[in-house]
Structure 1
Amino acid sequence: MHEIAPTTARDHSVVFAPRIQDLLTRDGKVFRIDATTVGVSDCDLTARIVAARPVLSTERSVYKPAAGADIPHDSATRTIRALGQDVMAGIRTPPPPARGLSGGWPYAATSYLRRWLFASDPLPVSLLSKRGITRSDTLSRLVDRAVTAWPGSEAHGTSTVLAELIRGAAGTQERRQAIAMYRRATATLCDGVAALTGNALWLMGRTGRTGQPETDLTAALWETLRLLPPAWMLYRKGGGAYTGLHPEIRPEDNVALLPLLMHRHPDYWSDPLEFRPERWAGVADPEKTPGFMPFGFDGARCWAKHLVVPLAERLLTVALDHRLTIRAPRQDAPVPLRSLLSVRFEAEVGA
């Protein structure tokens, strides 16, 4: 049996939530998680499962139905393009004051990214991306209603393209869906990039250190996506399409695809538990590496994958340039059971 233990990276380690740790110590690449769920970390079987049927709209975090109806394909495409334009524009602008990165991670980084990329939007649209608003269902509903009734006046070219999609909606239903897409797209991007950047800072061992690390930041981010991928599990409902692919999968079973386990298995990686950014040196397209699926799988890849690493590298550069130092915990950081895998720690800029 190959036991996939917690990661130790230089002077740092992580403590996974018990249910994640239980998965990490399971034997085999196909195993039963509970009475109705089968876990899969086999690369070839995963590819066959993904190819067996298209992903359902309810299995997508951003494009699930909104305002009582499915999201039209052209609306989803416009959202992807708009978000890409907004992120590229944001990367080219000066970042907010770095003191905003002090505090509890990844939450400090999430709020920082929202200010960086979406603060130019007029009221009340800008409230859709405020973390204090998004944490409250009641406030979220009130803001949604306000934006539906009044999406803000023309901002003379300063608002984001995503906000303009709300203003340009052709009716109440279309506007409500545009609001839902704005909220989901901004949250998914900012939360994911914040988690990836925080995981990279922890793995790089930033406790009490100053100055730029010797590690190539792009390589460090790809290695972070291997060891601590924020998108650590993808869920597929109902095993009817998968029953012929493996005897463990029954028609009534759900399937959990587990990149976190795949990325740590010795069948696919040398020194699988070691943080080694140098393994990506000279790799032109990391996503073509066997056993590496940081942004999902063919036919259902992350819609913003082309934005995540460049934005995370920019945020990581800001953190390092301003000598962000991890203060607590000093040795073992918790990784709670959440939809995004992220290390929790306290940090301070300029310490």
Structure 2
Amino acid sequence: MASAPVRGHSVVYAPRIQDLLARGEKVFRIDATTVGVSDCHLIAEIVAERPVSAMERSVYKPAAGADIPHDSATRTIRALGQDVMEGIRTPPPPTRGLSGSWPYAPTSYLRRWLFSSDPLPVSLLSKRGVTRSDTLSRIVDRAVTVWPGSDTEGGTALAEQIRDASGTQERRQAIALYRRATATLCDGVAALAGNALWLMGQEREQEAARADLTAVLWETLRLLPPAWMLFRKGGDAYTGLHPEIRPEDRVALFPLLMHRHPDYWPDPLEFRPERWAGVADPEKTPAFMPFGFEGARCWAKHLVVPLAERLLTVAFDNRLVIRSPQQEAPVPLRSLLSVRFDAEAGA
């Protein structure tokens, strides 16, 4: 199920991903304590068997020594949506920021576009140079806990949640949610936009694809979904669903494999955005789960495609071109599936 060359471009997966793509079975053992599943019916049964646990979530897993309350999670979703919609309506930063190594360049670009209006030190929470260092992250977190900014300084709705926190514990959780929300959104959108840009190929193919970027992004989510694997811990809840699953097992659910299986998709390895023409609600398509599974769906899924489409439109309007010397791009083993390549924006 590895991808054939797509419109002049192809990808080279990390060896462990290549091993997964080479498997023909839909339920298989990865190691002594992990079972992989790409069968859409079994996945549905696994997802329905029990609610997702707090530790299986990404953004809303426990923070500052306590679970994230439901109302805090809801406020964060609404605040992030407000900030993204405001960002989409505002002029983007200079597009020279999109030049360089993808997906790192667009990740930093999106953080600057959406969250640079926040006052110091809150704005540092979304800086990639800070988030990559545990030491710097701890220093900034402490600084924001002591000084989250004043009501007169403006900024994003996410930053306002930090300022409005009623105590130290609530503020620490608001800081954690700010950091996780901005990172998850920007990293995910950058990965999706980069994957789409690579799959669209050279400039002449890109021009043709621009007619329906939404369809391009849905097809990218099928063929190269950034959220390519999700874990369920504790196989005891699932032992009755399949004989391969034991009580001590973790269960890995693979949209990446399910999305390219010939049982579910015609010409599954072909990049064909036209397959989404006339599809009113792509997420209701059988064997298609681009934003995760019930109970653990991406909390910002309604923001991802519009923001990625806006980012690609800005890139194309400013004549962004792929400058990688090779036609094969690496896809390393990371939590987000993303193609690596170099690009350059026009003057």
TM bucket, shorter chain: over 0.9
> What amino acid is aligned across from residue 225 of structure 1 in structure 2?
L
Tell me the CA shift for residue 253 of structure 1: 0.6
Corresponding position of 2:133: 136
Give the residue type in structure 2 aligned to 1:270.
P
- Give the 5 Å matches for 1:175-324: 175-206=171-202, 213-324=209-320
Q: In the alignment, is the contact (CA less than 8 A) between 1:162 and 1:182 conserved in 2?
A: yes
Partner SS state of residue 11, structure 2: strand
Look up the SS of the partner of 1:346 in the other structure: strand
1:346 aligns with 2:347: no
Instruction: Encode CA deviations 1:225-247: one digit per residue, 9 max, x unaligned.
Output: 00000000000111000000001
Structure 2 residues without counterparts, runs of 5 or longer: none
Q: Deviations over 1:231-289 (max 9, x none)?
A: 00000111000000001101111000000000000000000000000000000000000
> Deviations 1:112-145 (Å, cap 9, x if unpaired)?
0000000000111000001111111100000000
Distance, in Å, in 2 between the alignment partners of 1:296 and 1:238 is 19
Partner of 2:57: 60
CA shift, 1:206, in A, is 3.3
1:119 and 2:108 matched? no
How far 1:299 moved relative to its partner?
2.1
For residues 177 and 272 of structure 1, do their structure 2 counterparts lie closer, same or farther at Cα, with a shift above 3 Å needed? same
Q: Does the 8 Å contact 1:212/1:321 carry over to 2?
A: no
Which amino acid in structure 2 is aligned with residue 298 of structure 1? Answer: E
Q: Which amino acid in the other structure matches residue 65 of structure 2? A: G
Distance 2:304 2:8 in 1: 27
Equivalent position to 2:44, from 43, 47, 61:
47
The one-character-per-residue Cα deviations of 1:82-137 (angstroms, maximum 9, x if unpaired) are 00111011100011011100000000000000000000001110000011111111
- Matched residue type, 1:142: I
Which amino acid is the alignment partner of residue 272 of structure 1?
Answer: P
Whether the aligned pair in 2 keeps the contact of 1:212 and 1:320 (CA below 8 Å) is: no
Cα separation, 2, equivalents of 1:327 and 1:333: 11
Is contact 2:8-2:202 (8 Å) kept? no
Contact 2:323/2:343 (<8 A) preserved: yes
Is residue 210–residue 323 contact of structure 1 (8 Å, CA) maintained in 2? no
How far apart are the structure 1 equivalents of 2:191 and 2:152?
31
Give yes or no for contact 1:40–1:255 (8 Å, CA) kept in 2.
yes
1:14 partner SS: strand
| Structure 1 position 5, deviation (Å) | 1.8
Matched letter for residue 152 of structure 1: G
Q: CA deviation at 1:298?
A: 1.7
Cα contact 1:58–1:64 (8 A) shared by 2: yes
Counterpart-to-counterpart distance in 1, 2:178 and 2:12: 34
Aligned residue for 1:17? 14
| Cα 1:7–1:137 shift into 2, 3 Å | farther
Distance 2:70 2:262 in 1: 40
Instruction: Report the alpha carbon displacement of residue 8 of structure 1 after superposing the two structures with TM.
Output: 2.2
- What one-letter code is carried by the residue in structure 2 that aligns with 1:15? V
Can you give the 5+ residue segments of structure 1 that lack an aligned partner in the other structure? none
* Residue in structure 1 matched with residue 143 of structure 2 by the alignment: 146
Q: Distance in 2 between matches of 1:165 and 1:314?
A: 26
Q: How far off its partner does 1:150 sit?
A: 0.2
Identity %: 82
Deviation sequence 1:294-314 (CA, Å, 0-9, x none): 001122211000000000000
SS of the residue corresponding to residue 248 of structure 1 reads coil
Local SS of the residue matching 1:328: coil
Name whichever of 146-155 and 258-267 sits farther off.
146-155
The residue type paired with residue 157 of structure 2 is V
Count of residues in Structure 1 that have an aligned counterpart in Structure 2: 347
Decide whether aligned partners of structure 1 residues 88 and 59 sit closer, same or farther in structure 2, where only a CA change above 3 A counts.
Answer: same
- Structure 1 residue 216: Cα displacement: 1.1
Cα distance in 1, alignment partners of residues 207 and 268 from structure 2: 28
Query: 1 or 2, which has the higher helix percentage?
Result: 2
User: Is the 1:209–1:325 Cα contact (8 Å) retained in structure 2?
Assistant: no
Task: Kindly report which structure 2 residues correspond to 1:59-138, keeping only aligned pairs within 5 A, or say none.
Answer: 59-138=56-135
Q: What stretches of structure 1 move > 3 A for 4+ residues in a row?
A: 206-215
